Chain A
Amino acid sequence: MSDRHTELLELLDKFGAGLHALLTRLTLREDVAEELMQELFLKLHGTKDQGRIECWYAYARRTAINLAFDWRRRQATRRACSLDDLSERASETDGPLGKLISAEELEQVLAAVGRLHGASREVFVMRYIQQSSYEEIAEQIGKTVHQARALCFRAMSTLRDMLGCDPSPADGKEVQHVTDE
């Protein structure tokens, strides 16, 4: 077996589950996530050596995010439901309608995230969807913690603008975990 295959197997063993979970969160489809995993490792197989396995993971994660949002963009024209019609908090029922509304709420957020560019999108996904710490993000993207924090803050600000977010919460209290510390 070639060195490349060994590296990819090691990457799969160590980070495969996390990558699959990431793809599932970004596509909300297990079947699509499986296909994109295949595509992801296809790309990894054809790319140049990234060196350490951690570098492979950073590259793989970035590629996975791009693959997921490319898929989302292709699907955007096929979605029947108008996201702009949804403005109220969804019912918390577990029934089919509740699940449908819930899925559309997530689609709305993901659609907005998809409009972030490059590094903004990547750090946003790492922070708010993968829930990585600033230290982890900083290490992954090769920046200081301070820089990582600033990137996350700017990405969130941009997303808020896209979604027309009223910065004050419904009950008037500041929401600490949305406003970056």
Chain B
Amino acid sequence: MSQMNDAELCRRLNVLADVQPSAQATSRAMDRIRQTLMDSNRFVARKSLGRIVMNSKWAKLAAAAVIVIAALIGLQFIGGSTVTFAQVIQPILNANTAILDIVIGADDPNTPVIHDMVMGSRIRRTMSNVQDVVSIIDLQSSKILTLTETKKEAAYIDLKGLPSMPNYMDQLRNVIAQLQDSPHFVVEELGTRDIDGRKAVGFLARHPRSEITIWADAKTGLPIRIDQKDGQMLVIAKNLQFDAPMEESQFSMEVPEGYKLQQMELDLFSATEADFVEGLRIMAEKFGDGQFPDGVAVEDYLKQVPSITKKCEQLKLSDEEQLVLGKKMQQYLLFTRFFKGDGKWYYRGKGVKLGEAEKAIFWYRPRDSKTYRVVYGDLHVADVAPENLPEPLATDDVPPASVGYQQWSKPDFVGSQEDLWRITASEIVAQSDVTLTKGPQGVSVMPISLPYTTAVLTSVSIGDAAVPFEPAGAGQFKLRLPLEKLLAGQTKVTCKWTVPLADLEKAVYGYQAMLKALVPVVSYKLTVALDPDSGLESAKDPTQLSWVPFSIGNPPEPKAEFGSCGIAVQKRK
């Protein structure tokens, strides 16, 4: 560090304090912001974020044959801590280079570590348990160059199916560009803990399909560990460094002189059930001494790579045979890694020998199928109904609803409501249909308030299923919702209730109705219908038996109270 005295420091600070932008620069900067605020109801966030994305040199999307990390991050700022989520993700957004270690599954000493260096559109990847092999992943050309240095062997792998597969850093940028408008992303603060001897603050960002936890240095705000749940795979990124200087030569896609070259192709989404079953057979026959592997997830395979490599050498396969075997193992891995079924897959093959026909070792539900495909120990496959599976499904194995209910971090249930009030001679017999769209995470008890304290809830149902409820005060009730039905797409809750007609406020034209939804809603509609025996008719049109006195949609924010409206009725003449 250079030496200077106090006077010099003072001088420089005074010079700094005297720095002034030109009046034109200030005016231009302020006008630009003012114009943006005046021109639209929302700040044009996409433009700024889009600029960050578009200026990036990172190519579209890629995947190594082994790992793809995808992350979806929420940008909703919670605040309340010195280090904010927005600060934490800035290095990720703006980095042009990165170094990181990746661990799949458990972060323990036995788990192999993937070491990535990232520059521009390329990743240089090595693995701790596979010596002398370096892979260069080129996202722009969708190619991988794998070099085995001791054997002087090289392979080019053409990757197919890439555009929908983001690489780690680019996915983050692309997703963040969309987050400003999305209600699906929520960030929660996790407090502080020690990570590798450093005090770290944590943020959990959720999306219906994914979850990411970022731990950042509490002092600098730089991310030091990122945990991502991607389907059934947990990916941990750690030892993160951003914008470290790197040599371009380390990312060369040129095959070094003297290397023997092979060409391969890999379609990331081409794996079929048959590929997976064939892979299971190879794992048992060739590498497992007749026994299925302990696991079929990527992290299980990574642990087995050294022993598989050794056994391959013992097999003394020809080059052609090695190529065929390699292709089969890739397809086997791809089946679970880029799983195309619904919900989870289940593997129970540990300890099972090839040929044990009665033992189910793997099952999954193909997309949109009502039954499961079950693979048995002799590798025959059968269709099985969910109730006949070897074990119950995992409690979190529920396919997400394509439209409708999502859980969030706020305490409120939110939906939309349509009411039908049937007016009889003495009471209102009402049916409120509430279509829920949001609910607190893990909460199944929903409080509701009827429009009148003297109203009585008579039944609650979702579809044909009754929903238990209990009183919680005058006109208030607690409903015990079946979360699994909501998450499966059955989101309409039907509440039937009654209130004496005399409890409505009388008006000259008829009655004044309280407009109050059972929960905060984004739309509310009231239809009234006159019971033929009510002795009443519409004051506006006596021939009309039902009409809509009130409806509202898209209030600025969900609300439950909408004031009141008149129900114009008179005694039938």
Report which A residues bind B (CB closer than 8 A): 1-2, 5, 8-9, 12, 16-17, 20-21, 24-25, 28, 30, 33-34, 37-39, 41-43, 45-48, 66, 70, 73-74, 77, 83-87, 89, 102, 105-106, 108-110, 117-119, 128-131, 159-160, 162-171, 175, 177-179
**A165–B12 CA distance with the chains assembled, in angstroms:** 13
Complex Cα gap A119–B42 (Å) = 31
Q: How far is the CA of A128 from the CA of B18 in the complex (A)?
A: 11
15 contacts between A and B (CB under 8 A): A16-B29, A21-B26, A24-B21, A24-B25, A37-B32, A38-B36, A47-B77, A77-B244, A106-B19, A108-B2, A117-B220, A165-B4, A165-B6, A169-B5, A170-B5
Contacts of A28 in B (CB 8 A): 19
Query: B9 touching A178 by the CB < 8 A rule?
Result: yes
* A contact residues around B20 at 8 Å (CB): 21, 24
Of the candidates A24, A164, A179, which one forms a contact with B2 in the assembled complex, judged by CB atoms under 8 Å apart?
A164
Q: Which 10 A-B pairs have the closest CB atoms?
A: A169-B7, A45-B43, A87-B2, A24-B21, A30-B25, A34-B29, A178-B10, A25-B19, A166-B5, A164-B1
By a CB distance below 8 angstroms, the chain B residues around A167 are 5-6
A177, chain B: closest CB distance, angstroms? 6
The smallest C-beta distance from B51 to any residue of chain A, in angstroms, reads 9
Which one of A2, A39, A47 contacts B79 once the chains associate, using CB atoms below 8 Å?
A47
Once the chains are docked, how many angstroms separate the CA of A177 from the CA of B243? 38
Question: How many angstroms from the CA of A177 to the CA of B6 in the assembled complex?
Answer: 10
Contact indicator A74/B94 (Cβ below 8 Å): yes
Q: Shortest beta-carbon distance, B217 to chain A, in Å?
A: 10
Contact of A163 among B2, B82, B243 (CB under 8 A): B2
Report Cα–Cα, A102/B75, bound state, in Å.
39
Contact A12 B34 (CB under 8 A): yes
Q: From A9, which residue of chain B is reached at the shortest CB distance?
A: B37
Contact A25 B7 (CB under 8 A): no
Contact between A16 and B5, CB atoms less than 8 A apart: no
Rounded to whole Å, the gap between the CB of B487 and the closest CB of chain A is: 29
Complex contact A42–B10 (CB within 8 A): no
Q: Given A30-B22, A74-B243, are A37 and B29 also a contact pair (CB < 8 Å)?
A: yes
Contacts from B to A (Cβ < 8 Å)? 1-13, 15-17, 19-22, 25-26, 28-30, 32-34, 36-38, 41-43, 45, 48, 75-79, 82, 86-87, 90-91, 94-95, 180, 219-221, 243-245
Please state if B30 and A16 are interface contacts (CB–CB under 8 Å): yes
Interface contact B12-A106, CB-CB below 8 Å: yes
Most buried by A among B11, B26, B219, B220: B26
CB pair B245–A77 under 8 Å, yes or no, is yes
* A28 to B43 alpha-carbon distance, docked (Å): 27
Residue of A nearest to B24 (CB): A30
B5: A residues at CB distance < 8 A: 165-170
Judge whether B2 and A86 touch: CB under 8 Å.
yes
* CA of A171 to CA of B45, assembled, Å: 53
Complex Cα distance, B45 from A28, in Å, reads 25
Chain A residues with Cβ under 8 A from B48's Cβ?
38-39, 42
Known contacts A38-B33, A177-B10, A46 near B17 by CB under 8 Å: no
Complex Cα spacing A129 to B412, Å: 46
> In whole angstroms, what is the CA distance A85 to B43 when docked?
44
Question: Do A12 and B30 touch across chains, with their CB atoms under 8 A apart?
Answer: yes
Least CB distance from B246 to A in Å reads 10
Tell me whether A16 and B33 are in contact (CB under 8 A).
yes
Contact check: which of A33, A42, A131, A159 meets B43 at CB < 8 Å? A42
Nearest Cβ in chain B — how far from A29, in angstroms? 10
Given A20-B26, A34-B32, A77-B243, A42 contacting B45 (CB threshold 8 A):
yes
Distance from B93 Cβ to chain A, minimum over Cβ atoms (Å): 10
Of all chain B residues, the one with the shortest Cβ separation from A119 is B82
Q: Judging by beta carbons under 8 Å apart, are A168 and B6 in contact? A: yes
Given pairs A1-B37, A33-B29, A38-B32, 10 additional interface contacts (CB within 8 A) = A5-B41, A16-B26, A21-B19, A42-B45, A46-B76, A70-B94, A74-B95, A109-B13, A167-B6, A170-B7
* CB-contact partner of B3 in A48, A129, A164, under 8 A: A164
